[in-house]
Structure 1
Amino acid sequence: MSQSSSQTSHPGRLGATSALLFATVIFGATFPISKFILANMDALSMTLLRYGIAAPLFLLILAWREGTAALRPAGRSAQLFALGALGFGGFNLFMFYGVTMSRPEFGAIVMALQPLIAVLIGWARSGRRPAASSFIALLLALLGVVLLSTDGHIARLAEHAALLPILMMILGGACWVLYSMGMASFPGWSPLRYTALSSSGGAIFLLLAWWGAHRLGFVRLPQPADWPALAPALLFVVLVGAVLAVLSWNMGIRAVGAQNGMLFINIVPLTALTVAVLRGQHFGLWELLGAALVLLSLLCNQLANRLLDAWPWRQRAAVAASCQV
């Protein structure tokens, strides 16, 4: 079965919504499951294992669905390598090293900041200042993150161990936003082709990083007797979390755009928190308040933007601008 990338059909609105919901639920479940793995191996080794397996699988699926011609990077190898390093290297390493030093639910909550991170990156790229509601939402989110990371004891911000994991997770979230936005620069490519070739670049980056870390003695691998117990969790984070979820995410992003797709990221912390509660995890009052503020900031930002777009004066301005083109 062979077809060109440009001819690959995109899912409709319902299909895109389903794909993004599936991806974000799996992303949320991946955090607590990864925490179990990270107790036995370092984040770099786990990430290399994930995409060292996932990337070849993506390439095989791509060759089957679109033909071997789709495997060619079309002169864009450097860009694909950079995007893969950001999305599969930067996001996973910053996020999961942060999780190693804190709690998986915190990583999922910080990941929900990606819509606001996308607003800031869009501002830096276009020079157009975001609406005041976005800044209010950002302040609420930052307050929530502070409460989350300090459990209400603001003086802990001076402690290296309290702030560093959160900063690493935020940086990881920014890497994933840039990777998701990068798909727009490949308009003639299917989500499968973008995923396969960029993940291959990410796998090469991770292999080089792992080789350097191994030479320096920073790699930590499980004991042989521990592998059978880790196998179910590894199968989930590789086949479900790295293959099915990432491909579903890119399919949804291609259909609705990065900015709209980022709104679904709110599902990630809800899933992670649900899993934690089911496993008997308890949260302090300030931690719950911090998580609520982060989610409230995202809701306020989304509702404010929808209301502004619905105002008659905003619609008239858009019509006038289109007439002047």
Structure 2
Amino acid sequence: MNKKWIYYAGLTIVSIIWGANFGVSRSAMETFDPILFSFFRFGMAVPLFFLLLKIKEGNVGVPWKVALKLAVIGLVGVTGLEIAVMYSIKYTTLANASLLNVAPWPIFAALFAPFFVKEGFSKRLAVGGAAAIVGVTCIILGGAEGLNLSSEHMTGNLLAFGISIVGALYNLACMPLMKQYSPLRVSTWFIFFGALFMIPFTRGSWAKVDWSALQLGHYSAIAYNVILCTVVAFIVWNACMLKIGAARANFFRYVVPAAAVVAGVIFFDEGVTISQLVGAVFMAAGLVWISTEKKPQPALSRTILPEALTEQGRT
């Protein structure tokens, strides 16, 4: 029996977790500097990752050459992207940042995939992806802000668009490593390096926090970010992406803004427009169309790098 639906369900659940985090974390951002809050998210997740890795696989090490690769991935994919997202929001509208960050990401993942992995790009994926793009655009632009392409937002717009390119490359760079190692091991190490490189950017932020005023809501937001948004989400996302391919997996990022809209309704009584509802239908139809493909192309080449055959002690 084909169990690929489990992987699509996993991607959808992770995207919902990430989208709901917009509502969970919004109030916490009034107390914590965004970069400091990001450091809490990844830094506090590192011990949990290493503990899980030790329990599940018996050891936690990787060869130093692989560690260097994961250090670059962590620097770019965690430290760099997290900080870039914060500044893109600062220099442009939230709608612009969301659209230019989210919408092009799967497209670039599909375009760059042949340089990293062996993936097919079927007509079904193209049609479903196009429907999903239309849907997520309606969801984002259907909000109160809409799209603003004025020159004052150009820096933020370009930064948000660049995030989608770098993010796609970061996802694809993980794929060959996850073929040699487990998604858990790869996630553990690049998040470790990402948190490590983030430390210098938190200077000056610690003293600004009124630690005595922290309430249960702040601790709950941190716990949600550490356990669900990072530990659970990264392991599940990477494992599912490995099974179905980066191009297909990344289209499910379009669930994130839809979940964020729902979170806004639940936490902040924000409204939902007709355009957003129509967009949700298009997006859902596109993702269902992608996920029901009977014979998706293999996510990775069957050829394994020679070093993978000699490094038996890694798992």
Same fold (TM over 0.5): yes
Q: Deviations over 1:295-324 (max 9, x none)?
A: 8589679969x99x99xxxx9xxxxxxxxx
Q: Structure 2: which amino acid aligns with 1:205?
A: F
Q: Structure 2: which amino acid aligns with 1:64?
A: I
TM-score, normalization: structure 1? 0.70
Matches of 1:121 and 1:42, distance apart in 2: 34
Matched, 1:90 2:80: yes
Equivalent in the alignment of 1:224: 211
Matches of 1:17 and 1:203, distance apart in 2: 28
Give the deviation of 1:76 after TM superposition.
Answer: 1.6
- What are structure 1's unaligned runs of at least 5 residues? 1-10, 316-325
With over 3 angstroms needed to count, the CA separation of the structure-2 counterparts of 1:36 and 1:176, relative to structure 1, is: farther
Structure 2 SS opposite 1:282: coil
Alpha-carbon contact 2:22-2:263 (below 8 Å) kept: no
- What are structure 2's unaligned runs of at least 5 residues? 298-315
Q: Deviations over 1:65-91 (max 9, x none)?
A: 1122x4223522221011112222223
Please give the residue correspondences for 1:62-77 in structure 2 after superposition, counting only pairs within 5 Å.
Answer: 62-68=53-59, 70-77=60-67
Matched, 1:209 2:198: no
Q: Structure 1: which amino acid aligns with 2:239?
A: M
Matches of 1:191 and 1:300, distance apart in 2: 27
Structure 2 SS opposite 1:75: helix
Q: Deviations over 1:117-153 (max 9, x none)?
A: 3234448889xxx99979988996998699569945x
Q: Structure 2: which amino acid aligns with 1:236?
A: Y
Give the deviation of 1:50 after TM superposition.
Answer: 0.9
Alpha-carbon contact 2:116-2:175 (below 8 Å) kept: no
Q: Structure 2: which amino acid aligns with 1:251?
A: A
Matched, 1:176 2:167: yes
Matches of 1:106 and 1:299, distance apart in 2: 24
Give the deviation of 1:259 after TM superposition.
Answer: 1.2
Please give the residue correspondences for 1:1-325 in structure 2 after superposition, counting only pairs within 5 Å.
Answer: 12-68=3-59, 70-99=60-89, 102-103=93-94, 107=98, 110-122=101-113, 147=141, 151=145, 156-161=148-153, 163-186=154-177, 187-210=179-202, 214=203, 217=204, 221-228=208-215, 229-279=217-267, 280-282=269-271, 289=275
With over 3 angstroms needed to count, the CA separation of the structure-2 counterparts of 1:55 and 1:219, relative to structure 1, is: same
With over 3 angstroms needed to count, the CA separation of the structure-2 counterparts of 1:169 and 1:266, relative to structure 1, is: same
Matches of 2:134 and 2:235, distance apart in 1: 32
Matches of 2:175 and 2:191, distance apart in 1: 16
Alpha-carbon contact 2:19-2:256 (below 8 Å) kept: yes
Q: Deviations over 1:166-213 (max 9, x none)?
A: 444433333332222112221221111111111111112112333xxx
Give the deviation of 1:92 after TM superposition.
Answer: 2.1
Give the deviation of 1:53 after TM superposition.
Answer: 0.9
Q: Deviations over 1:11-52 (max 9, x none)?
A: 952432332222111111112222222222222111111111
Matches of 1:36 and 1:42, distance apart in 2: 12
With over 3 angstroms needed to count, the CA separation of the structure-2 counterparts of 1:192 and 1:296, relative to structure 1, is: same
With over 3 angstroms needed to count, the CA separation of the structure-2 counterparts of 1:55 and 1:185, relative to structure 1, is: same
Alpha-carbon contact 2:100-2:160 (below 8 Å) kept: no
Matches of 2:271 and 2:160, distance apart in 1: 22
TM-score, normalization: structure 2? 0.72
With over 3 angstroms needed to count, the CA separation of the structure-2 counterparts of 1:227 and 1:166, relative to structure 1, is: farther
Alpha-carbon contact 1:32-1:105 (below 8 Å) kept: no
Matches of 1:90 and 1:141, distance apart in 2: 28
Alpha-carbon contact 1:105-1:272 (below 8 Å) kept: no
Give the deviation of 1:164 after TM superposition.
Answer: 4.5
Matches of 2:221 and 2:151, distance apart in 1: 33
Q: Structure 1: which amino acid aligns with 2:16?
A: V
Q: Structure 2: which amino acid aligns with 1:199?
A: I
Q: Structure 1: which amino acid aligns with 2:265?
A: V
Alpha-carbon contact 2:7-2:244 (below 8 Å) kept: yes
With over 3 angstroms needed to count, the CA separation of the structure-2 counterparts of 1:205 and 1:291, relative to structure 1, is: farther
Alpha-carbon contact 2:252-2:287 (below 8 Å) kept: no
Matches of 1:219 and 1:30, distance apart in 2: 22
Q: Structure 2: which amino acid aligns with 1:95?
A: V
Higher helix share goes to which structure?
A: 1
**Larger Rg: 1 or 2?**
1
